[in-house]
Amino acid sequence: MSHDDDRKDRRRKNVMGSYNYYKMFGCFNRKFKISELGPPRDVIDVFNLYSMGESEMPPDKFLRFLIDFQGEEGTTIDDVERIMDRVLNLSLSHMTRYVFTVNDFFHYLLNDEINGPIKTQVHHDMNAPLQHYFIYTGHNSYLTGNQLSSDSSEVPIIKALQRGVRGIELDLWPNNAKDGIHVLHGRTLTTPVTLHKCLKSIKEHAFVKSPYPVIITLEDHLTPTLQAKVAEMVTSTFGDMLYFPKESDKDEFPSPDALKHHVILSTKPPKEYLRSKNVGKERSSVDKEDKDSSDDELEDHKVSTSTSQPLSEFLGIDYEDDDDDIEDEKYGHLKGLEYKHLIAIHASKPKNGTRKALRDEHRKAKRLSLSEQALQRAANLYGVDIVRFTQKYILRVFPKGTRVTSTNFRPLTAWMHGAQMVAFNMQGYGRSLWMMHGMYRSNGACGYVRKPDFLLNKGPNGEVFDPKAALPVKKTLKVKVYMGDGWRLDFSQTHFDAFSPPDFYTKIYMAGVPADVAKKRTKVIGDDWTPVWNEEFTFSLRVPELALLEIVVQEYSVDKDDFAGQTCLPVSELRPGIRVVPLHNKKGEKFKSVKLLMRFLFV
């Protein structure tokens, strides 16, 4: 018998005995009655309503429930029979009688594969230009841990692609012999991984989760000779998968649909490196006012100062897309030519101020990179310029250099201004990363989410959306938390408390524009593995298109509450009605059994 089977068998025995037993002081048992897992009152009432008071619900009445109560228009009687067959595990013989009892109906509601909280198919228009989409983007995608001393590896790249990330960042540096290429976080103690390993891993895993294009952003610190070597490696590795830019791309980006199963390169063209010799020696200071106030984003400033430069200097410098001195310049034009022609999305940094860069009218498609601090300053001073820029070009926002422990920033400001590539450290965890996971559960988790119309439209006089404008309430969402289950299957009996069953409560956050932010919580249900709350909360939303519903379950403790599961759901994708909500661990991995039963209602 496997460990999981043994655990389930022990749980069955506990249920049969109807009690949990906990040892106190190693000498006597405490006995706790096990709650029966049964449908809450609302579920019974809905069943009775649609079964017309009968003890069984036939397919036609179940169909009416799906259409009227769950909002699943377009469902057919054939769909209903497939669902009922799956729940009842019946054969497809003509003798099969499709009917639900109230317990069958309850089991259907708890099946997340057919009654999950959000849409699971790609349903956005995928034929608009690339800049019309938010793109699931990683930062320093090769790092396994912190930004100063962790290993570089292809493994986090593979994990990111398997999650659906579409933007992979590689930092390219010469090896010690100056004849090869390493991927690592430069000027730190991070160990390198070869570019060949990274490219090979991208090729093998690029489209396992999504068919839409993977964008490789290169932070290039190479000589023209090594840039030519990159061009050779990229073309030989990807072959027909590599997208070669077309003349028309200078005016507008292609669509995600047109770029399906393609890999796209984005970096600065070589000529920009040649023109910016010694720019890499410039230093920018981190704003004193830009302190991180997030509870999950505490910075570790006590890192070893044995890097190749003083830590104080490192923390004050932002190396993203930095330029280095270029050797071998007399060969630059010839050797950089092939490399340049592979770059489909030309990247740049604001060299003469952010506002000027945002207002520059280039006649070719481009990508601009800003740090989180630069984005915040620009948003405070000239947010409308950012929105106008992102209607035509791509804006990438990356974490500030002081996030040495690989934490992340809140992404909502960037999204509210239309920034397509909000680059995150995917190897950590915390509320900011949970928000990122939640946003990209949208649109079938394909890694591309079409931006709301208000970020794309222009008025009759060319005016665009003003992120600072006061907005009226657009939608009201009611969220009811019925109950939770599954912890007894996924955790040991003493995981949360050695002497009694857990005391669970649920916190519900609304993340979004500042006016939409809210926080609610249920009461604590003591000593129960299957807590029943039956509590409803109301959220008024001004920008529901960007709102995220964060759900966190914790186990109450006198000292420090224990984490018991989380998920984050895009409000725009919520399916109304009674839904089961699977929970995830801190890293965003789905638990096997832990789930909540909830109801979502838009009014």
Do the strands 263-267 and 214-220 form a parallel or antiparallel pair, or are they unpaired? parallel
Task: Count other Cβ atoms within 10 Å, centred on residue 582.
Answer: 18
Q: HEC profile for 296-347?
A: CCCCCCCCCCCCCCCHHHHHCCCCCCCCCCCCCHHHHHHHHHHHHHCEEEEE
- Say if CB 531 and CB 484 are below 8 A apart: yes
Alpha helices by DSSP H, 76-128 = 77-88, 102-109, 112-115
Structural contact between residues 44 and 102, judged by C-beta atoms closer than 8 angstroms? yes
Q: Among candidates 262, 315, 268, which has minimal Cα distance to 292?
A: 315
Angle between helices 59-68 and 77-88 (to 10 degrees): 110
185, 262, 417, 584: the active-site residue: 185
3-class state of residue 421 by DSSP: strand
Q: Classify residue 444 as left (phi > 0), alpha (psi -120 to 50) or beta.
A: left
For the stretch 201-205, contacts whose Cβ atoms lie closer than 8 Å and that sit 24 or more positions apart, written own/partner, are 201/154, 201/157, 201/158, 201/161, 202/157, 202/161, 202/168, 202/263, 203/237, 203/238, 203/241, 203/263, 204/158, 205/157, 205/158, 205/161, 205/162
The CA distances from residue 25 to 22, 28, 29, 30, 560, in Å, are 10, 7, 9, 10, 22
As a whole number of angstroms, the distance between CA 352 and CA 232 comes to: 34
- Of 597, 568, 598, 595, give the one whose Cα is nearest residue 479: 598
State the catalytic residue, choosing from 139, 182, 221, 346.
Answer: 139
Between CA 336 and CA 320 the distance in angstroms is: 21
Write out the two tokens for 599.
Answer: 């109801």
Dihedral of CA atoms 537, 539, 544, 548 in degrees, nearest 10, equals -50
- Give the rounded distance of the alpha carbon of 1 from its chain centre: 37
Give yes or no: 584 in active site: no
Q: How far apart are CA 56 and CA 108, in angstroms?
A: 14
* 8 A C-beta contact, residue 578 and residue 42: yes
Annotation marks residue 132 as catalytic: no
Q: How many CA atoms lie within 13 A of 570 on its CB side?
A: 21
How many Cα atoms are found within 13 Å in the side-chain-facing hemisphere of 594?
22
Question: CA-CA distance, 366 to 354, in Å (whole number)?
Answer: 15
Which residues belong to the active site?
Answer: 139, 185
